[in-house]
Structure 1
Amino acid sequence: MRARFWLTLPPRRTPYYSRLVSDQGPAEPTVSTAWAGGLDERARRVVRSHVDRSGAQGAGARVRCRYYYDDLYGFIRSQVAPGAAVLDLGCGDGTLLASLQPSVGVGVDLSEATLARAHARHPDLRFVCADIEQLPVSGTFDYVIASNVVGYVIDVLEFFRNLAHVVGPSTRVIVAYYNFAWEPFLRLAERTGLKSREPLQNWLSRLDLANLVELADLEPVTSGYRTPLPVGPAWLTAPLNTMLSALPLVRRLGLISYVTARPRGPNLAPRVPDPTCSVIVPARNEHGNIRGIVERLPRLGRHTETIFVEGHSTDGTAEEIQRVIDERPDLDLKLFRQQGVGKGDAVRKGFEMASGDVLMILDADMTVAPEELPKFWSALVEEKGEFVNGSRLVYPMEQGAMRLANLAGNKLFGLIFSWILDERVTDTLCGTKALWASDYRRIAENRRTFGDFDPFGDFDLLFGAANLELKIREVPVRYRERTYGATNIDRWRHGLLLARMAIIGARKLRFR
């Protein structure tokens, strides 16, 4: 996403007057300086006084609680792509914002003194002295961060509703707050001088935050707790937190409560107006299915491109694809020869050559019918999900479509991978998938996180989508028996590969 926004700051309140102009030209700035009617002015003064004091102690607090801040900032960094446009609400001295390496970074905070230090340390970033509830910023950012600030907000629902002015279709809103199960311990730490004193804050659980973002036309993508042990040497607490955060009950005791959300609602502008589609068809020894695919494949969006990636077939598949291409010049059909091996390599080759806004995968065996693809298209384009995965395990299957051992293995690995991804994924090996091309490029850029480990292509995409906190949704499909050729799946050898991928996924996602 390219950020398009401008901001202004009333010069009477801070020396850091700044204005950003969108790439569509300058816009007339408007900033509301009036407090919303009926809000508690005394509470605002208390918050402002606390922000000034804590701003002066900011660096010292991070030193005293170094592990906590390192873990919190590291967690937020794991969700923010470098080079993005980032808005940090309650930015303090700009340490977190600078660590995110934004191409455009804007921080908003109440304390002029704190922002003076932030400006001196990070002159490449923009800082605004204002109440985050007024939000004197307009346009769209890739990420909006609200770390440890919602407790001070006078009207939390209005705060979240105002974010509508700074989010676009693929913006992520990341909210972090403390878990109120820790309230007695934090009060004790304040009394003993281990922690600076705080004014009375809003009582907001993780579920409260999720409820509020939904009321504000934001959809929670993921939420949870982390850091059950917030103090101690990193060499000891880091591995302990990694292990404890993966345990179902213990993880709820984490000090950090978080919600990551994305925009939704009837007034949300489409991510891509009238998008195009590329359907990738990996094909190895599928000669008898090629014509059926071309004849039955629905037209999707403004333009549909079908890319066959042929993988060293011995039955004349490549030649059949070329014949069909020659016979149907009215369709946008393309053929590429796979240089590597495996379906995963073929999918990556097809995605690399695709020109569509939406990318889909259709297996050439036609065990999932081409007529199912409009369901995936609708779920993606209507923003019901950002990574749409098929599930073959809902409807009764045709006899012989899936062996009993394969069915049992799929159900078992579905449970395992649902736990790893923290998302319900019932069918990890369904070949039919859909995602935005822009999101795939982000997955490809972050592929080094997991390495080139996946011969199927399914887990490369699933793990990548989960790592980027994309909204994963499943579409049930009917699974049919093959009418041509033989399966390329070796259930026992590939079962061991699945176990290996489960270990990789757990290590990189669940135990990170």
Structure 2
Amino acid sequence: MPPSADICVLLPTLDESATIVDVIEAYQGVGLRNILVVDGGSGDDTCELAREAGATVIKQSGTGKGQAIREAVARIDAEYVLMADADMTYRAEDAERMLEPLLVGDFEHVIGNRFADMESGAMTKLNRVGNRMINRGFTFIHGENYRDILSGYRAFRTDSFRQLTLSADGFGIETEMAVECAKNGVKTEVVPVTYRQRPDGSSTNLHPVKDGGIIFLELYRKAKTSNPLFYFGSVGLASTITGLGLAAFVIFRWIVDGIGHEIIAVGATASLLFGVQLLMFGVLADLILSLHREQLTRIDRLESDNFEDSPSQPRESTETETDSPPQKPE
């Protein structure tokens, strides 16, 4: 592991006075002393305790975990960032495992997989089910299996993070980071970590139903630019099926009972047309995206070939005939 000055431990906090000192001391104990706490307006003495423990503390200008992380990374000068929650659910002893793919390999982003070693009671059954559904949805939509995209234990190169287009303010930031990594081809590694139960006196700021809905919407919204066929096709398919159902009802009622439902028939026609158009638009958008990716691949290949073909050293200057000394005639 390089000197701790090259690594910044980032801890977003909100009312974490019960655990913040233990978390900071744990990372200091493994040799990571550059610790930045970004506080979201704690009503307790989280900030004071963090400063006394030796961490640098800043107060975010906005609200939400996503905004806090973006603001904090913009201030970080270290080459690598290790991001964790300040509630003692992650172990500082896993820091070396998290950082190794960045320091030894050529990876740019690392996700800690909590499901590899999750202690009993660390996650409710509702949260487990929600996490599994979100991870499977992510794999289906974006084609990458990161196994735990909602994990708050991340390590990344600072320059690669700044290349991601992130806008989520709340807990959707982890989902958005995973989507951006898959979309932009950021080399991402998943490593097993231990996920522990919150200690007594520490309460979660996560609301499973509310934040889960936000995460699902974020996952679907991001599909617009990474998988347009799913984004437009899913709505188009639903509209088409609805139109077909309404049309079948109108035809059945007209044949069996001799009753016409003109208004429903108009709605069925509109739903069918809308659904088919969205399906066609999704196919065209997916085709355009595929062509765009092919062009980017060709550009990268050409740049790589030009770099390999370029001389490693400048060509030595040669003397011209006029510069050469005159030949003595025989």
TM-score range, shorter chain: 0.5 to 0.7
Per the TM alignment, residue 366 of structure 1 is displaced from its structure 2 partner at its CA by 1.4
Contact 1:391 1:427 survives alignment (8 Å):
yes
Alignment partner of 1:487 out of 204, 208, 211: 204
2:36 corresponds to 1:307: yes
2:179 corresponds to 1:458: no
Instruction: Supply the distance in 1 between the matched residues of 2:24 and 2:210 (Cα, whole angstroms).
Output: 32
Contact 1:398 1:479 survives alignment (8 Å):
yes
Number of corresponding residues: 226
Q: Which runs of 4+ in 1 moved over 6 A?
A: 272-275
Provide the TM-score with structure 2 as the length reference.
0.64
Partner of 1:475: helix, strand, or coil? strand
Say which structure is richer in strand.
Answer: 1
Question: Any gaps of 5 or more consecutive residues in structure 2?
Answer: 229-288, 290-330
Whichever residue aligns with residue 429 of structure 1, its letter is L
Alignment partner of 2:120 out of 399, 404, 411: 399
Contact 1:360 1:432 survives alignment (8 Å):
yes
Higher relative CO (CA 8 A, sep ≥ 6), structure 1 or 2?
A: 2
Partner of 2:53: helix, strand, or coil? helix
Instruction: Supply the distance in 2 between the matched residues of 1:368 and 1:341 (Cα, whole angstroms).
Output: 23
**Correspondence for 1:360:** 82
Per the TM alignment, residue 399 of structure 1 is displaced from its structure 2 partner at its CA by 2.8
Contact 2:4 2:33 survives alignment (8 Å):
no
2:160 corresponds to 1:431: no
What CA deviation, in whole Å up to 9, does each residue of 1:102-135 have, x standing for no partner?
Answer: xxxxxxxxxxxxxxxxxxxxxxxxxxxxxxxxxx
Contact 1:338 1:346 survives alignment (8 Å):
yes
Matches within 5 A, 1:214-229: none
**Correspondence for 1:413:** 134
Instruction: Supply the distance in 2 between the matched residues of 1:314 and 1:428 (Cα, whole angstroms).
Output: 30
Alignment partner of 1:385 out of 107, 113, 119: 107
Partner of 2:115: helix, strand, or coil? coil
Partner of 1:307: helix, strand, or coil? strand
Whichever residue aligns with residue 204 of structure 2, its letter is T
Instruction: Supply the distance in 1 between the matched residues of 2:66 and 2:227 (Cα, whole angstroms).
Output: 23
Question: Any gaps of 5 or more consecutive residues in structure 1?
Answer: 1-271, 326-332
Contact 2:175 2:219 survives alignment (8 Å):
no
Structure showing greater Rg: 2
Whichever residue aligns with residue 465 of structure 1, its letter is C
Matches within 5 A, 1:172-251: none
Whichever residue aligns with residue 385 of structure 1, its letter is F
Instruction: Supply the distance in 1 between the matched residues of 2:103 and 2:184 (Cα, whole angstroms).
Output: 19
Contact 1:277 1:359 survives alignment (8 Å):
yes
Whichever residue aligns with residue 497 of structure 1, its letter is I
Provide the TM-score with structure 1 as the length reference.
0.42
Partner of 1:280: helix, strand, or coil? strand
Matches within 5 A, 1:89-128: none
Contact 1:423 1:472 survives alignment (8 Å):
no
What CA deviation, in whole Å up to 9, does each residue of 1:312-339 have, x standing for no partner?
Answer: 11221112112223xxxxxxx3100122
2:11 corresponds to 1:281: yes
CA shift in 2, pair 1:439/1:299, >3 Å: farther
Contact 2:35 2:56 survives alignment (8 Å):
yes
Instruction: Supply the distance in 1 between the matched residues of 2:221 and 2:58 (Cα, whole angstroms).
Output: 31
Per the TM alignment, residue 464 of structure 1 is displaced from its structure 2 partner at its CA by 2.2
